[in-house]
Chains A and B, each alone.
Chain A
Amino acid sequence: MKKDSVTSEYAIELRGITKAFGSVVANNNIDFSIRRGEILALLGENGSGKTTLMNMLSGIYHPDSGRIFVGGEEAFIRSPEDSARLGIGMIHQHFKLVDVFSAADNIILGTESESLLLTRRRFTRARQIGERYGMTIDPEKKIYDMSVSEKQTVEILKVLYRGADILILAEPTAVLTPQETQRLFGILRKMRDSGCAIIIITHKLNEVLEISDRVTILRRGESVATVNTAETDAAKLTEYMVGRPVTLSINRPELIPTETLFNVYHLTVVDDEGVIKLDDVSFNLRGGEILGVAGVAGSGQKELCETVAGLQKLKKGAILYKKENIEGMSPREIIRLGISMSFIPEDRLGMGLAASLDITDNMMLKSYRDSKSPFVDRKSAAEMARQVVDKLDVAASGINQPVRTLSGGNVQKVLLGREIHVNPSVLITAYPVRGLDIGSSYVIYDALNEQKRRGVGVLFIGEDLDVMIELCDRIMVLCHGKISGIVNARTATKEQLGLMMAGAGTDERYGTEVGDNE
């Protein structure tokens, strides 16, 4: 588009960018640059200012001070349109595609065209732009028929079709299997080699090390370092991110699992629209173990949690808790059996906690029925809140602070703390570290391991396979609502889990199926 103006060494250069929201300085005097033909990782914990910085490149925010240079010339990016005109394309974590349209229609949407009519040529064009970067897509396939990885390819093509040669990808691997991630990396390398500048925003260290040429690390709104990837390692990057050395290992207690708490037989769940969400799922959960559940987002994890917790009806199958059938029981009755569920959905404050209430009141949501008095017992709830805040190191101004105003990590801690406090025998936890910084994540892992030591059976729905291999005892992999296998986490590899997430059954060679349903 504007390749003629390449006079500078850098595709984009930011000098002294500062942006504040009210009294919070999100970006403070940041210098940042990326060359053509380079993949740069922008690394930082949540709230470190990565997204704010990138939003200034995509025209959503304007810097309070500082200058932006694109291709050596000073640029003033006032709107997303300005940004697109400069050849900057942003691929958001949540895809912006029209579900009922074909791939080609999504790609051409809103672009200039010589014809007012929709002709077959749009399919050819979409295919051509894909072939140029080694991406094969079926341009006539509808988005709703596509896998997450295919949708992402369409998003990338959409940006390339608009002539972008500076790409910003936000958490691009969050929803991909390891194999799909490798495929994406292949595409990114090819784009880099053809002269594109690529920025990936991420917090997965191993991927940073694998794909990027350079890394810029942000911490609390400031750029703390820019290093060549080849000259660094995970420990150093973490230290930059957190500001102090952090041990990145999970100490897995090696215990002999006790009695079987849960037997789930042939569980089949169908949603309101008749779509099968869980298909003939059988597994068991024993005390003193952490059973991980891996799978691409939407493989049935949510339904599994909700069915076990009694929130969703099952169509077929049985769920036994200590040989007692809990099918048809209300969540209240299930909680009384000692099955405590900490379910943290994407919308964290939606299901688990009441956002406007303070920490104490949220503790009471679970305990108020146990009191015999007709009046609420705020005293013991306050005591419980104080214990949770102390034990899990919740950063709050006090136990009367509304949960809504806590940061994501602290919200998670309050929720988990409340669930642990009632001494459950089973703990179901979905994505408990989603959106948490590294420090908080390890507090949560430690808390889970402590529960395991107490003999609790933990069902851990997770997304980061590296963590699951270190934390869990067994890992069950779901794919489209079916179990593709249950493997021993001590011997499992990421590649094996990835294949299973994509639907391949347990390979004979691994032969690590453990914990059969007796």
Chain B
Amino acid sequence: MNTIINFIFAAIKAGAPLLFGTTGEILTQKAGNLNLGVEGLMYMGAFMGFMTGFYTNSVTLALLAAFGAGAFGSLIYAFLTVTLKANQNVTGLTLTIFGTGFANFFGEMLIASTHGGAPKLSPDFSAKLSELIIPVLSDLPFVGRALFSHNLLVYLALVIAFICWFYLKHTRAGLNLRATGENPAAADASGLNVNRIKYINIMLGGGICGIGGAYISLINGNGVWNNGCINGQGWIAVALVIFASWSPAKAITGSLVFGAFTIFQVRAGEFAATFPPLAFLSSIPNAFYVMLPFLVTALVLIITSIRQKREGAQPASCGVNYYREER
């Protein structure tokens, strides 16, 4: 039983950064822009969050810096695609390359300037992001450990996903956003400022992706900066958007499932030892488990592309730049 509870706990912990990335990308795509730069945005957030936490010891400042880095990265993207009408795919891919280089370049400098070559967050800082003990709830059998003893950022991810769901579904601003992504000409004709809506939501989405990156550098890295820490998770987040059919609420379950796949490599041995029928799991090479989340991503993309329903589909104008009709 403990094996399963620990597995769920670890899956949630590993799924949280994906949830940030997915929620951020959903906002961006709802504005009609496909931003393939999530990986880069997460890298920028990861580094800026880590560096700020390293020097200031403040979680709030670290998160703000991560958000700011993601928002800044997506501002570049928005300027290129919304104002200059550059190709969205190319711009997004470039942003990934830029963000990865940015984090590794300055990360290398941080390593070089640190005594001992391993920049490590102070124990005091790490303690603030350690697992919380919630009175009563944490003591519940099974679910107490699996659901109610996570670090602060896991709950932040859930809250942000919930707020975004509410924003999209139940507010006028969300209606305006959806109209912009579906049919910018209709939004424009209705008197909405299409470019402003795009800028705001692309930057909000980018900022949320940035926090996802900080989650990885501040929590998954055990407090030590590690170049290349994002390692493809931004790409999984992009795929999760499709899996979640552009709904932040569905992104919660989606990120949990993918979180489970990403940690399966470290848990497979434990499963094999605990449950005799699963003993074969330990004989599968580790490389397979490393590949697993990407394999599942590919399968999910194939399966979901068959889906027909109109509401759960990509915003109709996503990926297409908007030109006002003028002769």
Contact = CB atoms under 8 A, between A and B. Distances in A.
Question: Do these two chains interact?
Answer: yes
A101 B190 CA distance: 14
A117 to B, nearest CB: 6
Contacts of B186: 96-98, 106, 109
A106 B191 CA distance: 12
A110 interface: yes
A21 B176 contact: no
Given A21-B327, A109-B190, A99 B183 contact: yes
Interface string B177-198: 0110011011101111000000
B182 A144 contact: no
A109 B310 contact: no
Contact of A116 (B171, B178, B325): B171
A235 interface: no
Interface in A115-165: 115-118, 142, 144, 158, 162
Interface residues of B, number: 27
A105 interface: yes
A21 B327 CA distance: 10
Contact of A97 (B183, B192, B326): B183
Contacts of B183: 96-99
A98 to B, nearest CB: 5
B316 interface: yes
A348 B187 CA distance: 28
A101 B326 contact: no
A118 B175 contact: yes
A99 B182 contact: yes
Given A98-B186, A144-B310, A109 B171 contact: no
Given A60-B326, A100-B310, A142-B310, A116 B190 contact: no
Between A99, A113, A115, the greatest number of chain B beta carbons within 10 A of the residue's beta carbon is seen for A99
Contacts of B170: 117-118
A508 interface: no
Contacts of A99: 182-183, 310, 316
Interface string A71-89: 0000000001100100000
B172 interface: yes
A108 B172 CA distance: 9
Contacts of B310: 99-100, 142, 144
Interface in B150-172: 169-172
A231 interface: no
A99 B317 CA distance: 11
A80 B191 CA distance: 8
A115 B173 CA distance: 11
Contacts of A105: 175
B10 to A, nearest CB: 38
A118 to B, nearest CB: 5
Given A106-B186, A273-B308, A118 B172 contact: yes
A109 B192 contact: yes
Contact of A109 (B179, B325, B326): B179
Contacts of B311: 100
Contacts of A162: 191
A60 B185 CA distance: 14
Nearest to B315: A100
Interface in B305-327: 308, 310-311, 313, 316, 325-327
Contacts of B187: 98, 109-110
A110 B191 contact: yes
Contacts of A118: 169-172, 174-175
Report the contact-size class of chain A (Cβ under 8 Å from the partner): 20 to 34
A351 B187 CA distance: 31
A106 B182 CA distance: 12
A129 to B, nearest CB: 15
Contacts of B178: 98, 100-101
A80 B189 contact: yes
B32 to A, nearest CB: 12
Contacts of A96: 183, 185-186, 189-190
B13 to A, nearest CB: 34
Interface hub of B171, B175, B316, B327 (most chain A Cβ within 10 A): B175
B322 to A, nearest CB: 12
B326 A158 contact: no
Contacts of A108: 175
B251 to A, nearest CB: 19
Contact of A110 (B169, B185, B190, B316): B190
Given A21-B327, A98-B183, A98-B186, A113 B172 contact: yes
Interface in A345-380: none
Nearest to B313: A100
A378 to B, nearest CB: 35
Most chain B CB within a 10 A radius of its CB, from A80, A92, A110, A144:
A110
Contacts of B169: 118
B245 to A, nearest CB: 12
Interface string A393-433: 00000000000000000000000000000000000000000
A111 B176 CA distance: 10
Q: Which of A98, A110, A118: most chain B Cβ within 10 A?
A: A98
Nearest to A94: B185
Contacts of A273: 308
A111 to B, nearest CB: 8
Contacts of B191: 80-81, 84, 110-111, 162
Given A99-B310, A142-B310, A109 B176 contact: yes
Contacts of A21: 327
A461 B22 CA distance: 48
Nearest to B327: A21
A97 B183 CA distance: 7
A63 B325 CA distance: 18
Nearest to B191: A110
A116 B189 contact: no
A196 B326 CA distance: 28
A178 B180 CA distance: 34
Contacts of A142: 310
Contacts of A158: 190
B161 to A, nearest CB: 19
A106 B183 CA distance: 11
B196 to A, nearest CB: 12
A142 B313 CA distance: 15
Interface centre among A96, A115, A158 (most CB of B within 10 A): A96
**Residue of A21, A109, A144 with most partner-chain B CB within 10 A:** A109
A116 B172 contact: yes
Contacts of A101: 175, 178-179, 182
Given A99-B316, A100-B310, A100-B311, A109 B175 contact: yes
Contacts of B176: 109-110
30 contacts: A21-B327, A60-B325, A80-B189, A81-B191, A96-B183, A97-B183, A98-B179, A98-B183, A98-B186, A100-B178, A100-B182, A100-B310, A100-B311, A101-B178, A101-B182, A105-B175, A106-B186, A109-B179, A109-B187, A110-B176, A110-B179, A110-B190, A110-B191, A110-B192, A111-B191, A116-B172, A116-B173, A117-B170, A118-B172, A162-B191
Given A98-B187, A118-B171, 4 more contacts: A81-B191, A99-B310, A100-B182, A100-B313
Interface of A: 21, 60, 80-81, 84, 92, 96-101, 105-106, 108-111, 113, 115-118, 142, 144, 158, 162, 273-274
- Which 4 A-B pairs rank lowest in CB-CB distance, beginning with the nearest? A110-B190, A96-B186, A110-B191, A96-B189
